Amino acid sequence: MGKCKKCHKQRAQLSYQKLCQKCSADKSRLATEQMRNKQGSAWEKWKLGMKKYSDSLEK
């Protein structure tokens, strides 16, 4: 038994980062959201690539 570093609740099972299951899931969801915001969506990248490709064909 140990305490979660984020919510400080006593838990029987903690991750290697000393987080409970709920806080660990929240942290990974936040990291995923930040990565998506930084890199942009795959759909937008695909549209941009197709636009560049079609523009190169018109030249």
The neighbouring-strand residues paired with 3 are 10
CA distances from 43 to 34, 47, 48 (A): 17, 6, 9
pLDDT digits (tens, 9 = 90+) for 14-50: 888 899 999 999 999 999 888 877 777 777 888 888 9
Sign, CA dihedral 3-5-8-14, equals: negative
Q: Quote the pLDDT of residue 39.
A: 73
Domain of residue 29 covers 2-58
Q: Is the pLDDT of residue 59 over 70?
A: no
Location of structure tokens 């990291």: 31
Number of domains into which the chain is organized:
1
Q: Quote the pLDDT of residue 28.
A: 92
Q: Quote the pLDDT of residue 22.
A: 94
- What's the CA gap between 4 and 11, in Å, rounded? 7
